[in-house]
Amino acid sequence: MALPFLPGNSFNKNLGKTKYHLSHHFDTKNDVTMMVGEERPGIGGELLRGQKVKPRSSVFPRGNGSNLPAWVAFDRQVMCFDAFFQEAVHEKREEQFRVRNCKIYFYLEDDSIQVIEPRTKNSQIPQGTLIRRHRVPKPPPNDDEFYTIEDFNVGKEISLYSKVFKITNCDEFTRNFLRKLGVKVNVPDENPADPYTKYRKSMDESMQALRPYEKHDTLKQFLDHDRQVLRFFCYWDDTDSMFGDPREMILHYFLADDTIEIREVISPNSGRDAAPMFLKRGKLPKNIETLRQPGEVTDRTVLNVFGPTGHGGRYILDSLKTGAVRTDFYKDSDLTLGSVLNVWGRKYVICDLDDFTKEYYRTKFGIEDFNTVSYKKGGYGGVERQWPPYNGWGSEEDSLCSCMGLLPKPPKRDFIKFMEKDRRGLDSNVLRFLAKMDTSKPIDQDRRFIISYFLSDDTILVFEPPVRNSGIIGGKFLERSRVKKPEQPLYSTQMSEYYLSSDLYVGSRVIFNSHVFLLIDADEYAFRYMEECPQEFPKANIESIINRLRGSVGKNKDEVKSFFMRNDPEGSGVLGYDQFVSLLKQVDSSLTDQEIMTLARFYSERPSEDAIDSRKLFAIIQEQLRKRNYEGFSKLVEDCQQHDQGKQGFVDPETVRTVLHAHHVPLPDDLLRAGIAMTPANERGEVQYAALINQMNWRDAPVPPMQYQPIVDDSQWQGTNQSNKISVSRICYNVLLEDFFGKSS
């Protein structure tokens, strides 16, 4: 029952209303007054009578999360629907309409739609993208609106540019998304079958033969064994025929298609032409058969023919292949060591296999015995080639290369050895020995020579240091070259033997061009290099020396211990060098000076003066920087601080070295490494860069200059000076006795 329109019985719509603005509905365009605000509301935003709100895009319910725009919240999220539409076909008896299946994609970020039809083989219809991605308007009379998410659901029909699409199904993401929006998703349906597709399928089936020929699938074998070849070394004895001789063959078996090819191994000066192939690649039959008639070898055999010849005739095929001609071919199971193959009437004996073939037979057939069949006769083709003797022109290697071919080639040098043993920084790879002449002439007995052996090319240089008032002019005594060993014929067919690094050691006696030298000393680098490479220098192998002495001592253990006790009355465990040498000479008189020095250096008592003085080191560094007038220490600190991510004042040593090189600090690399090694570091090995740069700063933290002995040139080394070097004067014999007789002694 409605209330009467009387005072007190009606409702005032303006109560509580605060907005009374007017929308702009009328305007002038092209001097014509017209209404432009048909979709705009009335006073205060209220809708006019008969006015409906037309949504411009999809409306999603607000959630609990952040209010992001749709193009951010739904980026790369697409709804997929399965649909179909019918297309009429005119003037064709086989079909009246076609059912075309397609996919409808709805992009949530901008409400755009894309329709794609999957391509069908031999359809002769333009397929693919039917409608490109864009916002699709609705059909009239609502053509001023666009499709939104509310218009899509399973079972609905939508019209896209006069084509009606029936939605039958959707994917799982679309189904879950619609359910979250509160939309009830209908039951999916199947797309109807296309009648013309059924017609084409039945027609294709009728064209297939009811009794097709057998298919031999060789693709799998080809894919599994492509480029896999078994290699057999064969032997064919053709001595029974006239002018025949034994011939070596190589048989290749291709696992991809079971074919065989044979190549002949032609030895030099055999008188035979080098044919590219002895047997062309193909399947090799086991037995030789006569030539078959045309049509006799076929895959299927016809038993009988009924009716007229040609159209309308019928025939029966032999499914059991009773009349088929079978030919046996060689397989991989027939090729074994010692087996005889019939190669078109020639008997081939398999004598050997390569490594891949052995592994193949071991894996597939479990064969472990691969004994080679010997077939070569002694003395056949075994004539050793004789080279002419050396003629004295050039080197022996150069003369030998001129005999190896018509075009002489220079001898090849060992480039790898040259690169490995060439000078690298402070590592010179040069062994220097102090030598004297082993002669009875008084004037030559006091002469001293420096013998330098270069490891890069096995050459020797002999230098005689000049001595004042000696009457002998010093300088180069022997030019750098390879030196032959004595007592070798000058003109010989064999290569001469030269002095190697293992022939030079302290105590050795060498002869250079009829001059006899006795090596009496070596520099520190030579001793250290020989001790680090005991395999090349057996005289510096500490293990072999100890084993030799242990065998020489034998049962005289008590005498050796008593000798040590007599020469060490205080019991300090240390013995003098001269006493140590006399003891070793008594134990084994055949020990060389090199072996005695190696043993003494190994068990020597090293003084603490061997340590590097850090104050002297940084004095040298500051002197080098002062000479070059380098003052970029503040930039070094700033660059190191950039690499110090934790701001703890410590950086990796290689990083500090890289920074110093990047700023072109005028210091050699070995001096930089020594300075970094002397700088304080933390537990992780990182260097305190501020302390390093502060010690290098000759402006703010100068170090008083110190006197130091510079490194002398190679030509100035005249042997070890006992007054300047830290000589091996005291030997710890307790450790030596423990290595000899065990810790119990």
DSSP string, 687-709: EEHHHHHHHH-TTTS--------
What pLDDT, on the 0 to 100 scale, is given for residue 735? 78
CATH topology of domain 226-289+299-365: PH-domain like (2.30.29)
Architecture of domain 70-201: Roll (2.30)
- 80 strand-pairing partners: 105
Task: Confirm if 64 and 166 have CB atoms less than 8 A apart.
Answer: no
pLDDT at 725 over 70: no
The whole-angstrom distance between residue 432's C-alpha and the CA centroid of its chain comes to 41
Taking residues 487-512, what's their average pLDDT?
90
The reported pLDDT for the residue numbered 305 is 64
> Of 601, 660, 600, which Cα lies nearest the Cα of 636?
660
Average pLDDT over residues 437-449: 90
Percent of the chain with pLDDT over 70: 89
Answer yes or no: same fold for 226-289+299-365 and 614-696.
Answer: no
Lowest-confidence segment of 95-104, 515-524, 602-611 by average pLDDT: 602-611
Span of 222-226, 319-323, 651-655 with lowest mean pLDDT:
319-323
Dihedral sign, CA of 682, 688, 692, 697? negative
Segment 515-536 shows an average pLDDT of 90
Average pLDDT of span 442-449: 90
Answer yes or no: are the C-beta atoms of 519 and 507 closer than 8 Å.
yes
Q: Decide if pLDDT at 339 tops 50.
A: yes
User: For 118-134, what is each residue's pLDDT tens digit?
Assistant: 998 877 888 899 999 99
What pairs with residue 146 in β-bridges? Answer: 137
Nearest-10 crossing angle of helices 669-677, 689-696: 120
pLDDT at 722: 42
Q: Of the candidates 506, 577, 543, 523, which has an alpha carbon nearest to the alpha carbon of residue 718?
A: 523
d(CA 338, CA 349): 6
Q: Please give the pLDDT value at position 713.
A: 46
Contacts 24+ apart (CB under 8 A), 635-642: 635/663, 636/660, 636/663, 636/665, 636/689, 636/693, 637/689, 637/690, 637/693, 639/663, 640/689, 640/690, 640/693
Query: Quick check: 332 pLDDT over 90?
Result: yes
- What's the average model confidence in pLDDT over 697-704? 86
Query: Among all chains, which residue has been given the structure tokens 């064709």?
Result: 92
Q: Where are the domains of the chain?
A: 70-201, 226-289+299-365, 420-539, 541-604+733-741, 614-696
The segment with the largest mean pLDDT, out of 87-101, 159-173, 262-276, 386-400, is: 159-173
Confidence of residue 426 (pLDDT cuts 50, 70, 90): low
Any idea which of 139-148, 576-585, 718-727 has the lowest mean pLDDT? 718-727
166 backbone dihedrals φ, ψ, rounded to 5°: -100, 120
User: What percent of the chain lies above the pLDDT cut of 90?
Assistant: 28
Q: Give 246's pLDDT tier (boundaries 50, 70, 90).
A: confident
Task: Kindly indicate whether the domain formed by 420-539 is annotated with CATH number 2.30.29.170.
Answer: yes
Q: Where residue 455 falls among pLDDT bands split at 50, 70, 90?
A: very high
Fold topology of 614-696: Recoverin; domain 1 (1.10.238)
The pLDDT of residue 438 is above 60 = yes
Q: Which segment, 47-56, 104-113, 420-429, 645-654, is predicted with the most confidence on average?
A: 104-113
HEC secondary structure over 249-285: EEEEEECCCCEEEEEEECCCCCCCCCCCCCEEEECCE
Q: What pLDDT, in 10s, does the model give residues 352-382? A: 999 999 999 999 999 988 888 887 665 444 5
CA-nearest of 205, 212, 206, 348 to 284 is 348
Strand positions, DSSP E, 526-654: 574-576, 650-651
Quick one: pLDDT band at residue 413, thresholds 50, 70, 90? confident
pLDDT at 719: 65
Of 19-23, 175-179, 264-268, 654-658, least confident by mean pLDDT is: 19-23
Please determine, for residue 712, whether its predicted confidence score (pLDDT) is greater than 60: no
Give, in order, the Cα–Cα distances in Å from 721 to each of 258, 522, 606, 704, 726: 79, 11, 18, 29, 9
Q: Identify which of 193, 214, 180 has the alpha carbon closest to the alpha carbon of residue 60.
A: 180
Alpha-carbon distance of 395 to 374, in angstroms, equals 42
Return d(Cα 401, Cα 415) in angstroms, integer: 18
Query: Rounded to whole angstroms, how far apart are CA atoms 706 and 74?
Result: 76
**pLDDT tens digit sequence for 466-497:** 988 888 888 999 999 999 999 888 888 888 89
Q: Please, what is the Cα angle at 236 between 230 and 239, to 5 degrees?
A: 170
Q: Which whole number is the average pLDDT over 194-210? A: 80
